[in-house]
Amino acid sequence: MNDSIAQRLLDWYDHHGRKTLPWHQDRNAYRVWVSEIMLQQTQVATVIPYYEAFMQRFPDVGALASAPVDDVLSHWSGLGYYARARNLQKAAQTVVDQFAGKFPADQSQLESLPGIGRSTAAAILAQAFQQRATILDGNVKRVLARHHAVAGWPGQTAVLNQLWQHAETHTPHDRVRDYTQAIMDLGAMVCTRSRPACDACPLQASCQANARDEVARYPGSKPKKAKPEKTTWMVILEDRQGRILLQRRPPSGIWGGLWSLPELDPAYTAEELPEACEQTLGLSCGEAEVQTGFRHTFSHYHLHIQPARLTTGVGVGAAIADDADQRWLFRDEAISLGLPAPIRTLLTRPDSDQPALL
């Protein structure tokens, strides 16, 4: 091994690296892949319980491919970025249909699967197949940007290309599984975004950012842009039996494919909500009971959610019948579906109208 950075990382990993994470046990391409998708923009501590429950329900690629989409989404509820879950199942179905249920040990074939990019494909090759492959996730970008003082935001093509070149240079031919885990662990445990533990870093002696006392400068931040503010009514519509109307969201866009509450134009006043429900849903409703609203932040805008509870005097099926995209369900039934985290919180918080803590 001729790269001293790789050797120092491996020596550090042998003594300090994480070796008992759930996806390190019974390691195969399926388990590695699911962990890599879950870990995108989500911390390890958050992922672990989701991963363990997911693996219990979907122990192999065939189980995931054949599962009802609602089941998959319900096991993802709370992790966010739900396109990951939809792509996960699409990729599983492709592996079953086109690769006889076995993940290909080839970079380009892996990248052809929905939701798998260059770094994720490389992680599967390195972690599951022990092939030399170069990864560049968020933690690795931070380590390399600081070590080589690569200025600029990694989302910019020129900056990203520099980081890929450094990543490729340092990836060893031996112990590549351990090396990829080591550099990810270093970014997660030592070379952290804020307050990095530079004195404990095995790369401190050659780190250019540390030598310049400019660790906080790297990597460069994404240019800030004010997020727009949006508002919507979320209608908790109950029938005589206490069932709530849920509607499936379109497959693309925010919360795509998940079950949610009917939404109404924020231009309506609370007094106009019964009429709005009749016009849009065909249901005769009583007076609206406005509940405490809250704000939920997406990656590109803030959504002000204003909940309102209404009751309808018609029985189930009188105006709106269950179908593939809408259902009347009791609350305990509803929360078993794939729901966005704010909707789950809204349906499980006490009716005393206390604010939701999101």
Give the lowest-confidence range in 53-57, 251-255, 337-341, 354-358: 354-358
Percent of the chain residues past pLDDT 70, beyond the cut = 94
Contact 239, 316 (CB under 8 A): yes
pLDDT band at residue 351 using 50, 70 and 90 as cut-offs: low
Please give the residue range of the domain that contains residue 89. 4-133+171-185
The residue type at 11: D
Q: 37: domain CATH number?
A: 1.10.340.30
338 and 276 fall within a common domain: yes
Is there a single domain that holds both residue 44 and residue 180?
yes
Whole-number pLDDT of residue 321: 65
Residue 283: per-residue pLDDT: 86
The yes-or-no verdict on residue 355 having pLDDT over 50 is no
pLDDT at 1 over 50: no
User: What 3-state class would DSSP assign to 206?
Assistant: helix
What is the tally of structural domains in the chain?
A: 2
Q: Can you give the pLDDT at residue 136? A: 97
Which pLDDT score, from 0 to 100, does residue 314 have?
A: 55
Chain-wide mean pLDDT for the chain? 91
Looking at the domain assignment, is residue 293 inside a domain? yes
Say yes or no: 283 and 180 in one domain: no
Q: What pLDDT shows up at residue 298?
A: 87
Q: Which residues are catalytic?
A: 36
User: Do residues 176 and 292 both lie within one domain?
Assistant: no
Strand boundaries in the chain, DSSP class E:
229-238, 244-248, 259-260, 263-264, 289-290, 294-297, 302-311, 326-329
For the chain, first and last CA: distance in Å? 48
Three-class SS string for the chain?
CCCHHHHHHHHHHHHHCCCCCHHHCCCCHHHHHHHHHHHCCCCHHHHHHHHHHHHHHCCCHHHHHHCCHHHHHHCCCCCCCCHHHHHHHHHHHHHHHHCCCCCCCCHHHHHCCCCCCHHHHHHHHHHHCCCCCCCCCHHHHHHHHHHCCCCCCCCCHHHHHHHHHHHHHHCCCCCHHHHHHHHHHHHHHCCCCCCCCHHHCCCHHHCHHHHCCCHHHCCCCCCCCCCCEEEEEEEEEECCCCCEEEEECCCCCCCCCCEECCEECCCCCHHHHHHHHHHHHCCCECCCEECCCEEEECCCCEEEEEEEEEEECCCCCCCCCCECCEEEECHHHHCCCCCCHHHHHHHHCCCCCCCCCC
Q: What is the mean pLDDT of residues 277-297?
A: 90
Q: What's the confidence (pLDDT) of residue 154?
A: 95
pLDDT at 280: 87
279: domain CATH number is 3.90.79.10
Average pLDDT over residues 21-44: 95
Regarding whether 278 and 181 lie in a shared domain, the answer is no
Q: What is the pLDDT of residues 63-118, one digit of tens each?
A: 999 999 999 999 998 888 888 999 999 999 999 999 999 999 999 999 999 999 99
> Are residue 122 and residue 12 in the same domain, yes or no?
yes
- Say how far apart CA 7 and CA 1 lie, in whole Å: 7
28 with 177, same domain: the answer is yes
Per-residue model confidence (pLDDT) at position 317: 42
The verdict on residue 204 lying in a domain is no
The predicted structure's pLDDT at residue 320: 65
109 and 32 belong to one structural domain: yes
Query: Which pLDDT score, from 0 to 100, does residue 353 have?
Result: 46
Write the pLDDT tens digit of every residue in 215-236.
Answer: 999 999 988 888 899 999 999 9
263 within some domain: yes
Cα 224 from chain centroid (whole Å): 22
pLDDT of 297 above 80: yes
Residue 188 has pLDDT above 90, yes or no: yes
